[in-house]
Amino acid sequence: MAYVNGRFLPLADAKTSVEDRAYQFADGVYEVVKFYGRNAVRLEPHLVRLMESSAHLRIAGGPGLDEWKTIIEQLATENELVDDETNEYILYQQVSRGVAPRNHLFPKDAIEPSVVAYFRKAPVYSREQRETGIALSLQPDERWNRCYIKSVCLLPAVMAKQAAADAGCFEALLVRNGIVTEGSATNTYCVREGIVYTHPTGPHILTGVTRTLVFEAAEKAGVEIREEAVTPDQFAAADEAFISSTTMGIMPATRLDGKPVGKSGKPGPVTRQLAQALDAIVASELRGHEVTAK
Average pLDDT over every residue of 242-255: 98
More reliable by pLDDT, 292 or 93? 93
Average pLDDT over every residue of 130-153: 98
Ranges in the chain annotated CATH 3.30.470.10: 2-121
Write the CA distances from 114 to 4, 30, 61, 169, integer angstroms: 8, 11, 10, 35
Model confidence band, residue 159 (pLDDT cutoffs 50, 70, 90)? very high
Ranges in the chain annotated CATH 3.20.10.10: 127-284
User: What is the structure's pLDDT at 50?
Assistant: 99
**CA angle (281 as vertex; 276, 282 as ends), nearest 5:** 100
Is residue 33 a contact partner of residue 208, using CB atoms and an 8 Å limit?
no
- pTM of the shown model: 0.95
Average pLDDT over every residue of 30-53: 98
User: What is the structure's pLDDT at 197?
Assistant: 99
Average pLDDT over every residue of 257-268: 93
**CA angle (139 as vertex; 240, 25 as ends), nearest 5:** 125
User: Distance (Å, rounded) from C-alpha 289 to C-alpha 277?
Assistant: 18
Positions marked active-site: 150
User: What is the structure's pLDDT at 289?
Assistant: 58
Kindly indicate whether the domain formed by 2-121 is annotated with CATH number 3.30.470.10.
yes
- What residues contact residue 99 under an 8 Å CB cut-off, 6+ apart? 16, 17, 19, 20, 21, 111, 114
pLDDT digits (tens, 9 = 90+) for 47-95: 999 999 999 999 999 999 999 999 999 999 999 998 888 899 999 999 9
Burial letters for 217-231: b for 16+ Cβ neighbours within 10 Å, e otherwise? bbeebebebeeebbe
**CA angle (232 as vertex; 229, 234 as ends), nearest 5:** 70
User: What is the structure's pLDDT at 293?
Assistant: 41
Average pLDDT over every residue of 208-220: 97
User: Distance (Å, rounded) from C-alpha 133 to C-alpha 129?
Assistant: 5
Which residues are registered as beta bridge partners of 113? none
pLDDT digits (tens, 9 = 90+) for 219-231: 999 999 999 999 9
- What residues contact residue 211 under an 8 Å CB cut-off, 6+ apart? 187, 198, 244
Average pLDDT over every residue of 112-133: 96
- What residues contact residue 10 under an 8 Å CB cut-off, 6+ apart? 1, 2
Topology classification of domain 127-284:
D-amino Acid Aminotransferase; Chain A, domain 2 (3.20.10)
Give the number of other Cβ atoms within 10 Å of residue 128's Cβ. 9
Burial of 106 (0-12, 13-18, 19+ CB in 10 A): middle
**The pairing of beta strand 179-183 with beta strand 171-176:** antiparallel
Average pLDDT over every residue of 155-172: 99
- What residues contact residue 189 under an 8 Å CB cut-off, 6+ apart? 196, 197, 198, 214, 225, 241, 242, 243, 244
Average pLDDT over every residue of 130-158: 98
Decide if pLDDT at 290 tops 70: no
Decide if pLDDT at 139 tops 90: yes
Decide if pLDDT at 204 tops 60: yes
Mean pLDDT of all residues belonging to the chain: 96
User: What is the structure's pLDDT at 294?
Assistant: 39
Decide if pLDDT at 291 tops 60: no
User: What is the structure's pLDDT at 233?
Assistant: 98
User: What is the structure's pLDDT at 181?
Assistant: 99
Share of the chain above pLDDT 70, in %: 98
Share of the chain above pLDDT 90, in %: 94
